[in-house]
Amino acid sequence: MTARLVFVHGAGADGRVWQVQRLDFPDAVALDLPGHPEGEPLPTVDAYAEWVVGRFVERGWIGAVLVGHSMGGAVALGTALRAPELVGGLVLVASGPRLRVHPRFLEGLVERPDATLDRFVDLWFGPQADTRTRERVREAVRRLGPHVLLQDLKACDAFDVTAQLGRVQSPTLVVAGEKDVLTPPDLSRELHAGIRGASLFVLPDAGHMLFLERRRLFRDSVRTFLAGLPPRR
């Protein structure tokens, strides 16, 4: 299958989180990273990026646009830095050049895993998010479990490509949620400032799950970005 868009989920999630975006972009695919749910999670963002490079080569997705949310944005950045010739563009959603995690969440996922998972997911949404969306995402993260979320957050905490942003060659759209408390808009502004030619779009009143909270605005921002890209080679 030739994919125009390749979606990469964030920590503790899987490809099903992009279900509505798959309706908006029928020529897209959504990856399940290792351990989400098949196999075991990988220890670093760079290891995930290497895995994504392998999928691009194996499936002939040369020139596809990577859309990554949070940790998935970090994986997308790592993929573009590792193999720029494969990536036709980047959409970095609620992400950043580094993704530090407060120690209380890492400790809590060991000592009080279920309660900490629920508390962490509570922080993913802005004030306008509807209850149905919140609960659907919470159940999806519970299905994978605290172990997967913990391993992913450890990988996020060790991630930092701040010094490498100037090497990113792919056309880039950065999308942030105005009310995101996990990856605040200032992190997206750093991406925008550090990646040559990048565009920035901040979605009003949206939290970390902005692509679900502001589906139409997110869809339209991605469509506008895609329309400005050169034809695929």
DSSP 143-182: HH-HHHHHHHHHHHHT-B-GGGGGG--S-EEEEEETT-SS
162-194: per-residue pLDDT in tens? 999 999 999 999 999 999 999 999 999 999 999
Residue 17 has pLDDT above 60, yes or no: yes
pLDDT at 1: 45
CA-to-CA separations, 189 to 113, 143, 159, in angstroms, rounded: 32, 33, 17
Helix (H, G, I), strand (E, B) or coil at 49: helix
Which domains does the chain possess?
5-227 (3.40.50.1820)
pTM of the model: 0.97
CA 168 vs. chain centroid, Å, equals: 17
Helix (H, G, I), strand (E, B) or coil at 39: coil
d(CA 197, CA 170) in angstroms, rounded, equals: 9
Helix (H, G, I), strand (E, B) or coil at 217: helix
**Mode of pairing for the β-strands spanning 87-93 and 172-177:** parallel
d(CA 125, CA 127) in angstroms, rounded, equals: 7
